[in-house]
Amino acid sequence: MKTNRPAWVSVLICEITRTPLRTALCMLLLLMLTHNTVQAQGPLDKTVTISINNEPLKQALDKITAASGIRFTYNETVAKSTVKISINAKNQPLGDVLRKALAPHPFSFSLLDDEVLIKYDAGKVKKQSAGTDGKYTVSGTIKSKQTGETIIGASIRVTNANAGTSSNEYGFYSITLPAGDHEITVSAMGQKTIVMPVSLSGNQRVDIALEDNSQLLQEVTIKAAPAGARDLASPQMGVEHLSIQETKNIPVLLGERDVIKTIQLLPGIKSAGEGSGGFFVRGGATDQNLILLDEAPVYNASHLLGFFSTFNSDAIKNMNIYKGDMPAQYGGRLSSVLDVKMNDGNNQKFGVSGGIGLIAARINVEGPIQKGKSSFLISARRTYADAFLKLSKDSVAKNSQLYFYDINAKANYVLGDKDRLFISGYFGKDVLSAADIAGINWGNTTATLRWNHIFNNQLFSNTSLIYSNYDYKLNIKQDVNEFNIYSQIRDFNFKEDMQWYAGQKNTISFGVNSIYHTIKPGEISATGNSGIISQNLQNRYALENAAYVTNTWKATDRFTLTYGVRLSAFTILGSGDYYDIDADGNIVGSKHYTSGQEVKTYVNLEPRVAAAFQLNDVSSIKASYARNAQNLHLISNSNSGSPTDKWVASTNLIKPELADQFSVGYYKDFNEHNYEFTVESYYKKLQNQIDYRNGANVFTNQPIETQLLFGKGRAYGAEFLLKKKAGRLTGWISYTLSKSERMIDGINNNQWYNARQDRTHDIAIVAMYKASDKWTFSANFVYYTGDAVTFPSGKYQVDGVTYYYYTNRNADRMPAYHRLDLGATKQLKKTAKFQSDLTFSLYNAYGNPNAYRIFFRDNKTDASRTEAVRTTLFTFVPSVTYNFKF
């Protein structure tokens, strides 16, 4: 037992009892009491001088230890607590300092030997919670601990409040909860899941850093269900999320990982054909897909005539594709939005990665500008197929060019707790030329400047300035004749997007968007005596404005509703001539407009509504309706797409395309969330659809409207997906059953006919098997109904020249397409500082000669007979790629 009796009392007792033995005993007693008195001046009595401003509890305790030498002991609950404390003490006892600092929070302290024990105090929480009916907001940013990259779509779930949210596309989250103690589970694809306590007696900013899944993590709780599971409670339909990690083992053509080729293995998304960079979504054409790279539109997302996409996987963080039921912040297309986000760059350490393949090489460099505050990324890629042409003995081949290159660059700066600045850009170019005979080159340039600002723990803002440019140049030489065609589409874009986390039940998004379009349909320059006249088709100018608002309302624990509207206005501007055309396509009048003069404005109200009802913890049903408007149109006479396809804007004659889509779906997770099954069906009604007149010429020098007809369309179908998300064997099976038709006066006797993108069946099977730490094997099989095409119904000859005639449009079919691809990845080396692997792939493993094109010609020996000639692009295509990272 300790006593606080002063030492002079003991001395007085010894004076009263003076004998040798008693004196010795008194002296011993005096020493003991003196020792106890010193002990009484323990850690809690020691005075400290320290200033701490709103810092996490663990960090604050570490600073107290550094300033005073007093050590603290605590458990994981304290170490991971989100509580922040402030201290301003000058020569005050530590006990008083702690008592005041911890008073508002659910923690208490006591002595444990020579240390101070900090412990969680559940009774204190109950007392605080009982005294208030208030709710508080927890918000912050979720990022990777290893790289500092913000994490998109991380799941935040609150166990005892049956509440949850997810991080937005910049990693920000906000959730409002009752006062008191909560347990929050945070998970994300490729990251370790953590469970952390949060004690709320006021609003809190809690930034969370997640560990990479590949590293051991002993201080967190691992959740059984894998991260990245589909959100059963969210009303959002028709959306697929893919990370680059999911795509890296899928075998692809010539070993180049390709996000666009990967999404074509998902239900409802169909390849536009082998050797094509385009894709069809739910019966829509290739131009009805909005492709964004860091918010900038990409008008031609293909390299080498479609064999590769513009997206270098080394530079990509995340991609989402919305199949028609797109959120209100997106607009301008009917069928889908492919939203691709670039990596921000590692702000923790410098790193280099890349790969060398049979046809292309790539390199990626990233690192901190100021550690933890800012970073950069530069990623570059180039093919070298043209280098092999130099080995040819043929002079034309030897002097030809066949290559592409692209560069991604990005930097970001943390300006403070509430502000972050991003600068990103892309530049890509394709060059194809046959000596001095002919050539074509095309390319995309984008630039994005974004500013993230957190007004408070419930209001987030993103402001963007965006530039986008796509152009192509075609050059043809023949003897003394030469002509060139140049076309361009260029945008300047301003966006303001706000997210207001209005409470526990409502999340409101709203914003504005304004784009200034400049379109050069074509500039033709010619020399020689070919008869081609140099001319400039009139540039077209337009201003596209939009405003939107949407709210996600969690009506009950099981029912959630999202509703909103987008208001778009497309203003056609001068200068230029605009025409009136009769039913036969003849110009019957025109009117000239001066620069900046308004020609016409199309205003469209685009409502959206979606609902989700959660049947139980593992299944839900959803339904949605969305209207979309499109004012930019791609004029193409090929199914697969070409760099020379023309983009045109709505005019006084070309009206905005409209689509109304109705969807319903069922979703289920089972076997402890390792499997996912979804089925969605849809019906899409289309207005103001565009197709060619019979015998149209896309390269006419007449207004393009003279070659076009307009009508309506419909598309409907069902999509099935069964996905295995965990274990050694992962992958999915997708199947789409669909129909896409058009009805346009002047085509097919004014009856319904198949759209070019109509396919009845589309099947994809994807499997990845991790055999060991060294080997991963993969395979994918695809099958789909042949494209709708128009074959000749007969022929006739005039002066020895054969002419074919056609009847019903798109009434014939190409042969069914099917292909098996195989892949394998061997891990060569993996250490903390360096890793490398070899990727092998075999495209079209059983060598099926899929038809790329079928054309017709007279038999050489009997002109009355007609031959159908089938061409094939690829049979067996092996490849090997060496990848490295350090």
Please tell me whether residue 635 adopts helix, strand or coil conformation: strand
The CA angle 531-532-538, to the nearest 5 degrees, is 150
> What is the rounded distance in angstroms from the CA atom of residue 403 to the CA atom of residue 883?
21
Let me know: does 399 contact 432? Beta carbons within 8 Å. Answer: no
pLDDT, residue 225, reads 38
Predicted TM-score (pTM) of the model is: 0.83
In order of 129, 383, 506, the CA distances from 179 in angstroms are 6, 58, 18
pLDDT class for 15, splitting at 50, 70, 90? very low
* pLDDT over 60 at 247, yes or no: yes
For residue 427, give Cα distances in angstroms to 301, 406, 413, 445, 493. 12, 6, 22, 5, 18
In this prediction, residue 55 has a pLDDT band, given cuts at 50, 70 and 90, of confident
Digit-coded pLDDT (tens) for 203-231:
888 888 888 875 433 333 333 334 445 78
Structure-model confidence comparison of residues 472 and 334, the more confident one? 334
CB 209 within 8 A of CB 171: no
| pLDDT tens profile 683-730 | 999 999 999 888 777 666 678 889 899 999 999 999 999 999 888 999
Q: What is the pLDDT of residue 119?
A: 84
Span 390-402, mean pLDDT? 73
CA distance 561 to 563: 6
pLDDT score, position 569: 97
Distance in angstroms (rounded) separating the CA atoms of residues 617 and 733:
24
CA distance 258 to 62: 48
599 compared with 102, residue with greater pLDDT: 599
> What's the pLDDT tens digit per position in 768-810?
999 998 999 999 999 999 999 989 888 888 887 888 888 889 9
What gap in Å lies between CA 641 and CA 36, rounded to an integer?
Answer: 90
- Tokens 């730490």 belong to which residue? 773
Cα of 401 vs its chain's centroid, Å? 34
Average pLDDT over residues 562-583: 94
Residue that wins the pLDDT comparison between 11 and 811: 811
> Before 313, cis peptide (omega within 30)?
no
Residue range 741-762: mean pLDDT, rounded: 93
Confidence of residue 199 (pLDDT cuts 50, 70, 90): confident
Residue 4: the pLDDT is: 42
Give pLDDT, residue 615: 94
Q: What per-residue string of b and e applies to 375-387 under the rule 16 or more CB within 10 Å gives b? A: bbbbbbbebbebe
What pLDDT does residue 625 have?
97
Of 109 and 567, which is predicted with more confidence?
Answer: 567
Using DSSP, state whether 601 is helix, strand or coil: strand
Nearest-angstrom CA–CA distance, 488 and 536:
12
Sign of the CA dihedral with 700 first, then 701, 702, and 705 last? positive
- Other beta carbons within 10 Å of 38: 9
Pairing relation of β-strands 419-434 and 438-456?
Answer: antiparallel
φ/ψ of 332, rounded to 5, equals 95, -5
**pLDDT of res. 440:** 84
Give dist(CA 819, CA 249) in Å, integer: 17
- Cα-Cα-Cα-Cα torsion 12, 15, 20, 24, nearest 10 degrees, comes to 20
The pLDDT, as a whole number, for residue 152 is 86
Provide CB contacts within 8 A for 435, sequence distance 6+. 395, 396, 399, 400
Alpha-carbon distance of 61 to 153, in angstroms, equals: 33
Neighbours of 595 (CB within 10 A): 9
Q: Contact 400/435 with Cβ under 8 angstroms?
A: yes
Instruction: Report the pLDDT value the prediction gives residue 428, as an integer from 0 to 100.
Output: 93
What SS3 class is residue 18? coil
**Angle at CA 476, nearest 5°, toward 486 and 360?**
80
Beta-bridged to residue 490, according to DSSP, are 469, 518
Q: Are 687 and 627 in contact (CB under 8 A)?
A: no
Span 801-856, pLDDT tens digits = 888 888 889 999 999 999 999 999 999 988 888 999 999 999 999 999 998 888 88
**CA distance linking residue 828 with residue 837, whole number of Å:** 5
Q: How many CA atoms lie within 13 Å of 517's alpha carbon, on the beta-carbon side?
A: 27
Give the separation between CA 718 and CA 680, rounded to whole angstroms: 6
Assign 498 a pLDDT band (cuts: 50, 70, 90). Answer: very high
The closest of 177, 174, 151, 150 to 162, measured between CA atoms, is 177
pLDDT of residue 534: 65
pLDDT band at 638 (very low <50, low <70, confident <90, very high): low
Question: What is the length of the chain?
Answer: 886
From residue 249, give the alpha-carbon distance in Å to each of 258, 729, 767, 769: 11, 12, 9, 9
Question: In Å, how far are 43, 690, 712 from 654, measured between CA atoms?
Answer: 82, 8, 13
What CA–CA distance (Å, rounded) separates 697 from 695?
A: 7
Nearest-angstrom CA–CA distance, 871 and 176: 61
Q: Cα–Cα distance between 735 and 680 in angstroms, integer?
A: 11
For residues 98 and 141, is the Cβ–Cβ distance under 8 A?
A: no
Exposure class string for 564-574: b at 16+ Cβ within 10 A, else e: bebbbbbbbbb
pLDDT in tens, 436-454: 777 888 899 999 999 999 9
pLDDT over threshold 90, residue 732: yes
Q: Which of 243-247, 524-528, 544-548, 828-832 has the highest mean pLDDT?
A: 544-548
Query: Which range is most confident: 101-105, 214-218, 435-439, 877-881?
Result: 877-881
pLDDT band at residue 123, thresholds of 50, 70 and 90? low
d(CA 303, CA 32): 88
Structure tokens at 473: 């140049």
Q: Which two tokens stand for residue 583?
A: 């039913």
Kindly give the pairing relationship between strand 163-166 and strand 155-158.
antiparallel
Q: Average pLDDT, stretch 20-44?
A: 51
Per-residue model confidence (pLDDT) at position 533: 63
- Angle formed by the axes of helices 20-40 and 7-16, nearest 10°: 170
> Between the CA of residue 134 and those of 40, 159, 160, 201, 203, what are the distances in Å?
42, 19, 16, 9, 11
The DSSP H or E segment spanning 715 is strand 708-724
DSSP secondary structure string, 215-269?
S---SSPPPSSPTT---SS----SEEEEEHHHHTTS--GGG---HHHHHTTSTTE
pLDDT of 40:
47
pLDDT at 24 over 70: no
Does residue 493 contact residue 513 with C-beta atoms inside 8 Å?
yes
Q: 150 or 21: which carries more pLDDT confidence?
A: 150
Are the beta carbons of 522 and 513 closer than 8 angstroms?
Answer: no
Residue 679 has pLDDT above 90, yes or no: yes
- Is the model's pLDDT at 12 over the cut of 70? no
Q: Is the pLDDT of residue 25 over 70?
A: no
**pLDDT of 391 strictly over 80:** no
Task: Supply the DSSP string of 684-705, one letter for each residue.
Answer: EEEEEEEEEPTT--TT-SS-GG
For residue 38, the model assigns a pLDDT of: 42
Percent of the chain with pLDDT over 70: 88
